[in-house]
Amino acid sequence: MPRLFGFADAARKRLNDAEAAVLANAASRRLADQPWPQIADWVFAEGHRSTMGGRMRPATLAEILANPAIAGLARDENGELVDVGEPRAISRETFERLEQHNQAKRPASRNEDREYLLTGEDAVKFVCGLCGTPISSAPSNSGTRGYRCAPSTRQHPGGCGKVRLSADLGEPYVVQHVLAELAKPEVQAVIQQVRDTLLAERPSIEQRLAENRSARRTLESRYGKSPVLRDAVDDAVPATVEAARRELVNRLHEAQRDLDRLIEEDAERLRFLNQLEFLPRAEVPDLIRWWQHAPMRSKRAIIGAMLSRIAIYPAGRGSRTVDGDRVALDWRVWDEPAAPRT
């Protein structure tokens, strides 16, 4: 029986440390939503081969990471995972998370080539330069990837519908500028100096965010429809109570708006702090090569850490290029302390 990639022998009693490290990295990339073909490309680019000496195929890599043996596990007669006491390349927790992740991703696997760098839950703020409406991903009539400002509708009011951008033109433009900025020694020096200091904010922001969201839910559930206030109106002098009711409702709405503002500010700050963890350390020797094989989630986070906003504008008549007149990049000054809370 041939040996399993990650182990030094067919009996799986000893790990091949270099291959085990590859599997751990590959598992992390998959959990960060990177498609199997890109992970396999990374394995090959790093100089690793299959146990037969050939290039690792995406399906082969997926099969290896689906084998419980890489986590020192086996399945019993009921299909349950049990620890067999063998060496492990990844932890049991990582293996179980990987199984759940792959099961959840199967229905969407055909759309992996439709990934967009500049939109998504964890992407940079991306808006129309004409009207300020968030830009959405939208394939062109020919099916190529693209971005656009959607026209205003009753369900989604506000868009002007006048701006479109090819993803194959716009994304490389943004990446080129972000990597160039990130490669500057002075920028790297700031990153290394303040990263840990900034990340130390995260626990307090997470706690405050949770408390404010809880307070917001309490306001909505207890006072959103104001049944207590309506009952009071029925049992008292209408004019007097109605004036008091309006005053109280106005104060409640003001409190809700204040909470919404604080929640939005803290959520944005927390999103930025989370993105800092994805910034490559100074010891990364080849930033461009690192980027080529990074998971999409990491790429989006890095762009969000370096840029506070991207705005796009209409192209000139007949223009097929992307430049500073079409794509405006607002660079984040993220080494400055957060503004004091009021």
**Range with top average pLDDT, 10-19, 44-53, 88-97, 293-302:** 88-97
Higher pLDDT pick, 342 / 26: 26
Give the pLDDT confidence score for residue 25 in this predicted structure.
93
How many CA atoms lie within 13 Å of 333's alpha carbon, on the beta-carbon side? Answer: 4
The tens digit of pLDDT for each residue in 316-335 reads 766 667 888 899 999 987 55
Q: Tens digits of per-residue pLDDT, 172-204?
A: 999 999 998 888 888 877 777 777 777 788 888
Task: Give the residue, 273 or 77, on which the prediction is more confident.
Answer: 273
Q: Which residue has the higher pLDDT, 338 or 242?
A: 242
Whole-structure pTM value: 0.56
pLDDT interval class at 106 (50, 70, 90): low
> What domains sit in the chain, N to C, each tagged with a CATH number?
17-114 (3.90.1750.20)
pLDDT at 27 > cutoff 50: yes
Average pLDDT for 245-258: 75
Predicted confidence at residue 342, as pLDDT, reads: 43
Whether pLDDT at 42 is above 80: yes
Q: Is the dihedral of CA 39, 283, 194, 125 positive or negative?
A: negative
The rounded percent of the chain whose pLDDT value lies above 90 is 24
Q: Does position 137 have pLDDT exceeding 60, yes or no?
A: yes
Q: Which two tokens stand for residue 106?
A: 């199967």
Answer yes or no: is pLDDT of 141 > 90: no
| Dihedrals phi, psi of 330, to nearest 5 degrees | -100, 110
pLDDT at 108 over 60: no
Does residue 268 carry a pLDDT above 80? no
Q: How confident is the model at residue 29 (pLDDT cuts 50, 70, 90)?
A: very high
User: What are 304-320's pLDDT values in tens digits?
Assistant: 888 999 999 998 766 66
Phi-psi category of 289—alpha, beta or left, where left has phi over 0 and alpha has psi -120 to 50?
alpha
Q: What is the chain's mean pLDDT, rounded?
A: 80
